[in-house]
Amino acid sequence: MVAKAEEDSEFNLDFFKNNGFTRKICISCGMPFWSQDGERKTCGDPPCDEYGFIGRPVGRSRMSIDDVRTAFFDYFKKDHGLVKPYPVVPRWRDDVLLVNASIYDFQPHVTSGLVKPPANPLVMSQPSIRMNDLDSVGISGRHLTSFEMLCHDSFNTPQHEIYWKEGTVSRCHGFVTEALGIDGKEVSYKEKPWSGGGNAGNALEVFIRGLEIATLVFMDLKEDPRGDVEIDGSLYSKMNLRVVDTGYGLERISWVTTGAPTVYDSIYGNAIDYILTESGLKTDNRKYMGEITRIHSSETEKNVREIEEDIKIKMKNYGEIDWVYVDKIRQAYILGDHCRSLIHMFRDYVIPSNVKVGYLMRMLLRRSFRAMDFLGFKGDLMDIMKIQEENLKGIVDGFPHKFAEDIIREEREKYIKSEEKGREEIERILKKNGNIGENDLELLYDSYGIVPELTKQYLQEKGIVIQIPADFHSRIVNKHSSKKSEEKQVPLLDFVDLETRTLYYDDPRLMEFTAIVLGSKDNMIVTNQTAFYPTGGGQPHDIGYFKIGDEKIDVIDVYKVGKAIVHVLSSPVKKGTRLKGYVNYERRRQLMIHHTSTHLLLGITRSFLGDQVWQAGAQKGVETSRIDITCNIKITREIADEIERRCLKAITENRKVTVRNLEWNMATSKYGFRLFEGGVPLSDHLRVVEIEGIDVEGCGGTHLSSTGEIGFIKIISVDSIQEGIQRITFCAGAAALNYVQGIEREYSEIKEYVRATSEVPTRVRESMDELISLRERMKELLKNEAERKFESAGEKEIGGIRVKLIHCSEEEKKLIIPMILKNGSNGIIVCGGHITVAGSRDKVAESLYRLLFSEEPQNKGKVLMGKIGNVADEKLIK
């Protein structure tokens, strides 16, 4: 091994120099690392080093995850602000579905410098969920879908530096050696660049006996297509803010101090014991799992299937191993892991579905059900969750047991039905394609919920062998993990650097104003100020007109570009022109009524049905509006009626509606992340709209001053638009009055039409019953007439074939054709301008067709049709 000059490193730190560290080059991977151990030749990163702590724990004592978390907080909170964990569903971001790391809490609003961090420096433990290695969970002994990322972060500006590399590495080493009691020579720091979430920087990965316990990232780059630094194929440039982003694996630190066979045994062995016991399996026979985990860690460059084959060979030295039992222990590990992740998802009221985070949750549930069935598990999934909930005390509080129980029951029923339907779908694909390929496995899973193991098992029964891709579930996860923005794309033009004062926020009732045109192109202008509201937040743009002298110019569209408000006009206006704007008052007021009503409906529905209700989308209109909500309780007409009554009560109470601009951290600290139900503004302040005692959320729309101005709300319909999401269509104010009056007019017309003086529904039912009875009588008469014509029809011989010649109506023909075929007859049916040839056998119908028509039948069968004008000899049918 040849050491590289320390002067060439970004990490040529005084801390390393003063504490006996040497920079070395790993003889295995060729990457640089720092160590106090003069004899060390490898960096510590598997497969350069295998796990050396299993059965040989390090540190002062064996530490549970609670012990590690407490030690971490105690070490750092003396000079760091303690921040509570964020939810695992990042509703403050519109680009990711789940929190994968603690830095997700602060991207992009804090890392961009727009918003101050909640503390600086800060320390926290952030629950995270990563599913990109799903196929290795339970198998490798080390992979988890959910984990806590401990972090101590600092956010440095040119004006104020908290700490950077020196302070980070010294604090990390101090925690490991002092708080954990681990010998410093056991620790190695491997240099490696890092990127994620639009940022990048140099990093140090921290290893102890082959296990990475932390990553120290020094984030000073932002993604930039014109940047001069390339990392993993993307270009980056320097940013003003320098962020220390550390991530310590809570579970891994606990594991390295306990030396357990797997990380699962270390962090929730009690849950694994319960699963094994309820599956009729021994709980003290996991002696081989440590060696299997060690082999996995040393072969990370191979896929799971290849590693498994190597394990079978290498484990022969241990004598006879019950591999069926090993498989069952692994399924117990999977079940324990997934229940832990599901707790976090249930806590954030995720509802299983076929899209977005709901899809990922359903995947975990179905893998859990599969594990339960494989194990013969006799216990209750909720009991495993209760054990895991206890393990997560202090991190997960207020777990919604009833909500979780209902979801699990519903999903279990769907899973059983999907298994019942599975064989039918597999047979259909086999019949069509002759085999089941990888794309078919994905289709079966995505469209029908049929897990690949079920497909494999069913095919084995038929003597067909298939291989499930080693990364099957990871592929599915990647396919469903994107969260693309659906914002309207608008032309930027030359307006992006202009700024418009938003008068509609100063006074939402201001309908007239004067302005100067700052920018103009074609029929579009940007003014220095405007009362016209631009499309946004589900609220349509205002309409109206501008006046220049006596000339009136209509406003057709309004949208926002950066800080500029663009007006699309009926004719062009030059830059520098002074003009006066007039907003259509009736339209604006109705939109204000509907926007405020949307907030009221959301708050009332949540208070009635529970905290699982979240806004999933909204669109305000003039005549009607709609709000989409997540909810696994079907909103019946009775529930909708009760929601209307509660809305009316809030309206008559004339609840105050207030709008405030609050600093980001102050707003989220006070109101939580429900503020982002209407969208995620990238701003240092949040515009918070509150209906007194009912609803609080961030919103950029225009609103009323009190609920009393709404008048009343009428729910028109409730529809399920996808699993777990229901759409409430409603109207309010004048629009609700118009709707009710329209129903009244229709009611009056119906009343007059059925000649009812009272009890209109009764009279309508009587009329419908009478109509149905008449229709049934007509069907009977039609059937009798068709039978009469069939029986009495004369016969002719055409080309040696006896044929019934029948003239009838279109309705009679539909009944007569089945009679001909059923009785073994042959017939020529004349109906309107067409002749239908019906033969008791295919060839008979074709022969008759050729005799009557001068062309070959295109669709061969027992019933063929042609036009009378094409008949070779019309005399045949006269």
- Residue 53: which of 211, 172, 206, 263 has the closest Cα? 211
- 306/687: higher pLDDT: 687
Q: Which of 21-25, 296-300, 787-791 has the lowest mean pLDDT?
A: 296-300
Which of 34-43, 313-322, 348-357, 851-860 reaches the highest mean pLDDT? 34-43
Q: Which of 65-69, 133-137, 450-454, 852-856 has the lowest mean pLDDT?
A: 852-856
- 446/590: higher pLDDT: 590
- 478/111: higher pLDDT: 111
Chain-wide mean pLDDT for the chain?
89
Answer whether residue 351 shows pLDDT above 80: yes
Helix H or strand E segment including 308: helix 304-314
- The residues facing 728 across adjacent strands are 627, 718
- 135/494: higher pLDDT: 135
CA dihedral 222, 224, 226, 230 (to 10 degrees): 70
Rg (CA), the chain: 36
- The residues facing 801 across adjacent strands are 798
Burial group, residue 185, by CB count within 10 angstroms (0-12, 13-18, 19+): middle
Q: Phi and psi at residue 509, in whole multiples of 5°? A: -100, 0
Work out the pLDDT band at 142, boundaries 50, 70, 90: very high
Task: Tell me the per-residue pLDDT of 557-569, one tens digit each, with 9 for 90 and over.
Answer: 999 988 999 999 9
Q: Region 803-827: what's the mean pLDDT? A: 89
E strands present in 522-620: 524-527, 529-530, 544-548, 551-561, 564-569, 578-583, 614-619
CA 194/CA 203 separation, integer angstroms: 6
Answer whether residue 484 shows pLDDT above 70: no
Cis peptide before 540 (omega within 30 of 0): no
Using an 8 Å Cβ cutoff, are 269 and 117 in contact?
A: no
Answer whether residue 604 shows pLDDT above 80: yes
| The residue to which tokens 């994905």 are assigned | 442
Answer whether residue 355 shows pLDDT above 50: yes
Work out the pLDDT band at 485, boundaries 50, 70, 90: very low
Work out the pLDDT band at 6, boundaries 50, 70, 90: low
- Residue 156: which of 243, 224, 35 has the closest Cα? 243
Q: Which of 137-141, 229-233, 278-282, 871-875 has the lowest mean pLDDT?
A: 871-875
- 876/529: higher pLDDT: 529
Q: How high is the pLDDT of residue 379?
A: 94
CA 315/CA 297 separation, integer angstroms: 15
Burial group, residue 644, by CB count within 10 angstroms (0-12, 13-18, 19+): middle
Pick left, alpha or beta for residue 484 (phi over 0 → left; psi -120 to 50 → alpha; otherwise beta): beta
The DSSP code for 286 is: -
Q: Region 674-696: what's the mean pLDDT? A: 90
- 198/732: higher pLDDT: 732
CA 169/CA 215 separation, integer angstroms: 10
Q: Which of 305-319, 368-382, 590-604, 615-629 has the lowest mean pLDDT?
A: 305-319
Using an 8 Å Cβ cutoff, are 765 and 794 in contact?
A: no
Amino acid at 831: C
Q: Region 602-618: what's the mean pLDDT? A: 95
Using an 8 Å Cβ cutoff, are 877 and 805 in contact?
A: yes
Six-digit token string for 676: 């982002």
Q: Are strands 801-807 and 827-831 parallel, antiparallel or unpaired?
A: parallel
Using an 8 Å Cβ cutoff, are 827 and 816 in contact?
A: yes
The SS3 of residue 866 is strand
- 838/156: higher pLDDT: 156
Q: Which of 238-252, 462-476, 495-509, 705-719 has the lowest mean pLDDT?
A: 462-476
Task: Tell me the per-residue pLDDT of 94-119, one tens digit each, with 9 for 90 and over.
Answer: 889 999 999 999 988 898 889 999 99
- The total of other beta-carbon atoms located within 10 Å of residue 751's CB is 15
0.75 exceeded by pTM: yes
Work out the pLDDT band at 166, boundaries 50, 70, 90: very high
- Residue 70: which of 343, 394, 337 has the closest Cα? 394
Q: How high is the pLDDT of residue 126?
A: 97
Taking each helix axis from N to C end, the angle separating 304-314 and 289-298, rounded to the nearest 10 degrees, works out to 130
Six-digit token string for 86: 């964020």
Q: How high is the pLDDT of residue 858?
A: 67
Q: Are strands 544-548 and 551-561 parallel, antiparallel or unpaired?
A: antiparallel
CA 607/CA 611 separation, integer angstroms: 7
Q: Region 138-152: what's the mean pLDDT? A: 95
Q: Which of 383-392, 486-495, 739-748 has the lowest mean pLDDT?
A: 486-495
Work out the pLDDT band at 867, boundaries 50, 70, 90: low
Answer whether residue 719 shows pLDDT above 50: yes
Q: How high is the pLDDT of residue 1?
A: 40
Q: How high is the pLDDT of residue 872?
A: 41
DSSP 404-448: HHHHHHHHHHHHHHHHHHHHHHHHHHHHHHSS--HHHHHHHHHHH
Answer whether residue 797 shows pLDDT above 70: yes
Q: Phi and psi at residue 658, in whole multiples of 5°? A: -115, 150
Q: Region 752-773: what's the mean pLDDT? A: 82
Q: Region 156-160: what's the mean pLDDT? A: 93
CA 731/CA 523 separation, integer angstroms: 34
Q: How high is the pLDDT of residue 600?
A: 98
Answer whether residue 506 shows pLDDT above 60: yes
CA distances from 523 to 526, 565, 574, 617 (A): 11, 14, 9, 32
Q: Region 346-365: what's the mean pLDDT? A: 93
Q: How high is the pLDDT of residue 491?
A: 52
- 504/678: higher pLDDT: 504
Strand order across the 801-807 sheet: 795-798, 801-807, 827-831, 834-838, 863-867
Q: How high is the pLDDT of residue 36?
A: 97
Q: Are strands 22-25 and 564-569 parallel, antiparallel or unpaired?
A: unpaired
